[in-house]
A = this chain, B = another copy of it.
Amino acid sequence: MHMTAPEPTHHDCSAIAHHLAWIGDRWTLPTLVSLLGGAMRFNQLRRAVGGISQQMLTRTLRSLERDGMVTRTVHPTVPPQVEYALTALGRSLADQGIALGRWVQAHRAEIDGNRDAFDSGSSR
Protein backbone atom coordinates (compact mmCIF):
# COMPACT_ATOMS: atom_id res chain seq x y z
CA MET A 1 0.00 0.00 0.00
CA HIS A 2 1.32 3.33 -0.99
CA MET A 3 1.25 6.22 1.45
CA THR A 4 -0.36 9.49 0.64
CA ALA A 5 2.27 11.41 2.56
CA PRO A 6 4.46 12.98 -0.10
CA GLU A 7 7.40 14.02 2.04
CA PRO A 8 8.43 12.15 5.15
CA THR A 9 10.87 14.92 6.03
CA HIS A 10 8.68 17.58 7.50
CA HIS A 11 6.65 15.49 9.94
CA ASP A 12 4.12 17.65 11.73
CA CYS A 13 5.39 21.15 11.14
CA SER A 14 2.65 22.86 13.06
CA ALA A 15 3.38 20.90 16.20
CA ILE A 16 7.07 21.64 15.89
CA ALA A 17 6.38 25.30 15.25
CA HIS A 18 4.30 25.34 18.38
CA HIS A 19 7.11 23.91 20.46
CA LEU A 20 9.44 26.58 19.20
CA ALA A 21 7.41 29.18 21.06
CA TRP A 22 9.05 27.77 24.13
CA ILE A 23 12.43 29.21 23.35
CA GLY A 24 11.23 31.90 21.00
CA ASP A 25 12.49 34.68 23.14
CA ARG A 26 15.26 37.13 22.68
CA TRP A 27 17.65 36.03 25.41
CA THR A 28 17.26 32.38 26.36
CA LEU A 29 19.51 30.93 23.67
CA PRO A 30 22.19 33.66 23.76
CA THR A 31 22.45 33.27 27.52
CA LEU A 32 22.74 29.49 27.39
CA VAL A 33 25.27 29.61 24.59
CA SER A 34 27.37 32.15 26.44
CA LEU A 35 27.51 29.81 29.40
CA LEU A 36 29.07 27.10 27.25
CA GLY A 37 32.35 28.84 27.93
CA GLY A 38 32.11 27.69 31.54
CA ALA A 39 30.61 28.83 34.80
CA MET A 40 30.35 32.59 35.05
CA ARG A 41 29.40 35.27 37.49
CA PHE A 42 26.55 37.65 36.90
CA ASN A 43 28.27 40.66 35.43
CA GLN A 44 30.75 38.53 33.60
CA LEU A 45 27.87 36.74 31.94
CA ARG A 46 26.18 40.02 31.24
CA ARG A 47 29.18 41.19 29.27
CA ALA A 48 29.44 37.86 27.47
CA VAL A 49 25.84 37.92 26.33
CA GLY A 50 26.09 41.51 25.28
CA GLY A 51 23.26 43.99 24.89
CA ILE A 52 21.11 42.49 27.60
CA SER A 53 19.80 44.63 30.41
CA GLN A 54 20.47 43.66 33.97
CA GLN A 55 16.80 43.12 34.59
CA MET A 56 16.38 40.79 31.64
CA LEU A 57 19.44 38.77 32.54
CA THR A 58 18.06 38.31 36.03
CA ARG A 59 14.70 37.19 34.67
CA THR A 60 16.22 34.94 32.04
CA LEU A 61 18.49 33.25 34.56
CA ARG A 62 15.64 32.71 37.01
CA SER A 63 13.59 31.15 34.31
CA LEU A 64 16.47 28.95 33.16
CA GLU A 65 17.15 27.90 36.72
CA ARG A 66 13.51 27.02 37.17
CA ASP A 67 13.58 24.85 34.07
CA GLY A 68 16.72 23.07 35.20
CA MET A 69 18.93 24.54 32.49
CA VAL A 70 21.34 26.34 34.77
CA THR A 71 22.45 26.08 38.37
CA ARG A 72 22.92 29.07 40.61
CA THR A 73 25.62 28.81 43.27
CA VAL A 74 26.08 31.49 45.91
CA HIS A 75 29.47 31.75 47.56
CA PRO A 76 29.01 33.39 50.95
CA THR A 77 31.91 35.78 50.58
CA VAL A 78 32.13 39.53 50.86
CA PRO A 79 31.28 40.82 48.42
CA PRO A 80 28.94 37.99 47.48
CA GLN A 81 29.77 35.87 44.49
CA VAL A 82 27.17 34.07 42.44
CA GLU A 83 28.11 31.57 39.81
CA TYR A 84 25.90 30.33 37.03
CA ALA A 85 26.64 27.11 35.22
CA LEU A 86 24.90 24.90 32.70
CA THR A 87 23.30 21.65 33.69
CA ALA A 88 23.48 18.69 31.33
CA LEU A 89 20.07 19.66 30.04
CA GLY A 90 21.12 23.24 29.52
CA ARG A 91 24.28 22.23 27.73
CA SER A 92 22.24 20.02 25.49
CA LEU A 93 20.02 22.91 24.48
CA ALA A 94 22.98 25.25 24.19
CA ASP A 95 24.47 22.86 21.66
CA GLN A 96 21.37 23.26 19.56
CA GLY A 97 21.81 26.99 19.91
CA ILE A 98 25.36 26.72 18.68
CA ALA A 99 24.19 24.84 15.61
CA LEU A 100 21.70 27.56 14.90
CA GLY A 101 24.14 30.35 15.57
CA ARG A 102 26.65 28.79 13.26
CA TRP A 103 24.07 28.53 10.57
CA VAL A 104 23.44 32.25 10.81
CA GLN A 105 27.15 32.91 10.87
CA ALA A 106 27.66 30.83 7.74
CA HIS A 107 24.82 32.45 5.84
CA ARG A 108 25.01 36.01 7.03
CA ALA A 109 26.76 37.27 3.92
CA GLU A 110 24.17 35.69 1.68
CA ILE A 111 21.34 37.11 3.74
CA ASP A 112 22.85 40.57 3.76
CA GLY A 113 23.20 40.34 0.01
CA ASN A 114 19.56 39.39 -0.43
CA ARG A 115 18.57 42.23 1.81
CA ASP A 116 20.55 44.80 -0.10
CA ALA A 117 19.21 43.54 -3.40
CA PHE A 118 15.66 43.68 -2.09
CA ASP A 119 16.07 47.18 -0.73
CA SER A 120 17.66 48.63 -3.84
CA GLY A 121 15.08 46.86 -5.96
CA SER A 122 12.08 48.25 -4.12
CA SER A 123 13.36 51.80 -4.10
CA ARG A 124 13.85 51.85 -7.83
- A residues near B (Cβ < 8 Å) are 9-11, 13-27, 29-31, 33-37, 48-51, 65-68, 89, 92-93, 96-105, 107-108, 110-111, 113-115, 117-119
How near does chain B come to A29, taking the closest CB pair, in angstroms?
5
Complex formed: what's the CA distance from A26 to B21 in Å?
7
Check B17–A34 contact: CB distance below 8 A.
yes
Copies in the complex: 2
Pairwise interchain contact A24-B17, C-beta atoms closer than 8 A: no
Residues A93 and B103 in contact, CB atoms below 8 Å apart: yes
Given contacts A101-B19, A107-B89, A33 and B50 within 8 Å (CB-CB) = no
Distance (whole angstroms) from the CB of A96 to the closest CB of chain B: 5
Closest B residue, CB atoms, query A87: B114
